[in-house]
Amino acid sequence: MKNILNILMLICFTTLSFAQSKVNIKLTNPEGYEWAILYKIIDGQQEYIQNTELKDATYTFDLDKDASKGIYRVAYSMNQSQVVDFIYDGKNINFSINPANPFETISFENSEENILFQDYKKDILEEQTKLDQLQISYFSANSAQEKKDIEKEYQNDYLALENKQKSYEEKSKNTFAYHLIKSSRRYFSPTLYKTQETFLNEFKKHYFEYIDFSDKELNKSSLLIDKVIEYVFYVNSSEDKEVQNTLYKNSLQEVMQKIGNNETAKAYITTSLLYAFSQLENHDLLKIMLDDYYEKLPRQYVDENVVREMEAKLKTAIGSLAPNISWEENGKQNSLENLAEEENYLIVFWSTTCPHCLNEVPVLYEKTANDKNLKVIAVALEDDDKDYSIYKAKFKNWINVYGIGKWENQFAIAYDIHATPTYIVLNSKKEIIAKPDTYEDVLNYLNIE
């Protein structure tokens, strides 16, 4: 009986052991690094999987054997600005990186698929660089003979690139890497362009030549988003604001036509573009993206939280009339829109649980408390009024608003507040004219010493 139990335990242990795959990432320079987070890229977005602590200069993640194949991402810095991507194919993966430069130092010990894809990126980039340099040399060539020599070299290198691309596509058949390799291909003309204008026009014309937006496997990577972002914001660029906005509009139309009926890709690409224009504070394009593209998606792809967030950003754009804020004062209701006209208004979103706020806001109060041309409305975003009443008494020359519910407070939502302290300056018409980052910036903007 004891032997049977031992055998059953061994079988159970063996089954459990083989039910997982390990991903080991060794840092060649581990100093200053502690934790890492593993994400899966799904529908173009990061989906949290797990986190782990650095041990013996190595991050180790355990993945179920049935975990979906595709691109996974490891973020290993506090602000998640340092990341490295790899293909998970259901097998153990060991690789190393220099965390300061992961893209050029990544080295796989196993995983044929990752090794193949890394070799592809290195080899193809090398060939593409040769062709680009020959095209540049051709533009500056001074003699007919020099141009003829460049043309001959270009043709040879062009054939070499085509052969390498076909070879890697053949080698990667029936793998996830195949989809990446096929869609990473870049169009090159079989012959050199005679003018720079023709080169740029043809580059834009053929930019999406080999990208298959109907390939659902690409939704498991960031390739489609990366290509679209590059096309919209870098391929189509101008220093003139009006020209730039026209280029944006045209490129968006082109991108949406290219995406076609892949509604999943259209949804996450549109969402990414919304946040990109929001970050640039280009509210004209943000509104176009929201009204003409995002809200016209099939309803199952529209996230109402995203809609509300973007609408709040539009309402709090520079030049917009500030959303109203109301409060009770001496038993009576009052509001921002009912305040008598002042030269300027300052809205301060802060919290008694925010260390930065407790350092900055009291200093700001001392500097502004007696300014007759400025009316300050301090909205304290709180979960309870434990400490609020104490600070309300200290800030007696300000209008103090108790923002119960913290981030879910109606005024925090209306002003799209996600961090404290946040400062918003209004003019006499109560239009938003500035969003200073720090209290020093507030004082400088308002010329307060």
Q: Label the pairing between strands 374-382 and 399-404.
A: parallel
pLDDT band at 333 (very low <50, low <70, confident <90, very high): very high
pLDDT band at 222 (very low <50, low <70, confident <90, very high): very high
Q: Mean pLDDT check: name the lowest of 63-67, 163-167, 238-242.
A: 63-67
pLDDT in tens, 137-152: 999 999 999 999 999 9
Q: Mean pLDDT check: name the lowest of 15-24, 78-87, 113-122, 408-417.
A: 15-24
Q: Mean pLDDT check: name the lowest of 112-116, 327-331, 380-384.
A: 327-331
| Nearest of 421, 337, 343 to residue 378 by alpha carbon | 421
Q: What percent of the chain has pLDDT over 70?
A: 96
pLDDT at site 19: 56
Residues 6+ apart with CB under 8 A from 279: none
pLDDT at site 11: 40
List the structure tokens of 280. 């640039």
pLDDT at site 329: 84
More confident residue, 146 or 330: 146
At the top level of CATH, the class of 18-110 is mainly beta
Q: What is the mean pLDDT of residues 392-410?
A: 95
What is the separation of C-alpha 246 from the centre of its chain, rounded to a whole number of angstroms?
Answer: 23
pLDDT at site 341: 84
pTM of the model: 0.80
pLDDT in tens, 7-60: 434 444 333 344 579 999 999 999 999 999 999 999 888 999 999 999 999 999
Q: CA quadruple 312, 318, 324, 325: dihedral positive or negative?
A: positive
Where do the domains of the chain lie?
18-110, 114-315, 326-445
pLDDT at site 65: 73
> Is 326-445 in CATH node 3.40.30.10?
yes
